[in-house]
Amino acid sequence: MDAGRWQFWICACACPGQDFIYSIPDPGPPPAAPFAPVDPAERLRTLLKGYPAGTAEAALEFTRERSPEALRRTLAGVLRFHHPPSVGEAPRLEPADAPGDTKLVADLGIDSLTMVEMTFLLQDLWGVTFTDDELRAIMTLDDLNRAILEKASALGTLHARA
């Protein structure tokens, strides 16, 4: 045992005439940097780990260039991840192949829970938030794309949140 790493304390118990000795490890000096800086690209990849291939790269491209096509690819991967087809379910339209006027609920089967999950993900990815009224107004893929692009423009420089 390294005596320099331990401090010894004598504490009086509430019972008269009884003393106890406790060994408490000395934690040492605090680390120089308790939290290492997070690389935004790595953070995006971590948030989107397990999502369909190309989703994280598309999200990173949208972060850097604000490309509507990159946003479309990102949302296709997010929709595919959050709402995969169920066993025995009839095949439905794939988000990546869906035209812009595709209805999220009627055509893709997106429910309110999935929309909430995606909303939290968008906030984690880019800081984009929506009010309840704004969410209710999003009916199609084009509506979702447009809403995110408008929010991203309002934020100014879009960046992956660290």
pTM (two decimals): 0.69
- Per-residue pLDDT tens over the stretch 71-87: 999 999 998 888 777 66
- Per-residue pLDDT tens over the stretch 6-38: 444 444 445 555 555 555 566 666 666 666 677
The pLDDT value given to residue 80: 87
Determine whether domain 40-83+93-155 maps to CATH 2.40.110.10: no
The pLDDT value given to residue 9: 45
Decide if pLDDT at 54 tops 90: yes
| φ and ψ of 88, to 5 deg | 80, -5
- CA angle, 86 then 87 then 89, to 5°: 65
Rounded Cα gap, residues 158 and 65, in angstroms? 9
The pLDDT value given to residue 60: 93
The torsion angle over the Cα atoms of residues 68, 74, 77 and 80, rounded to 10 degrees, is -60
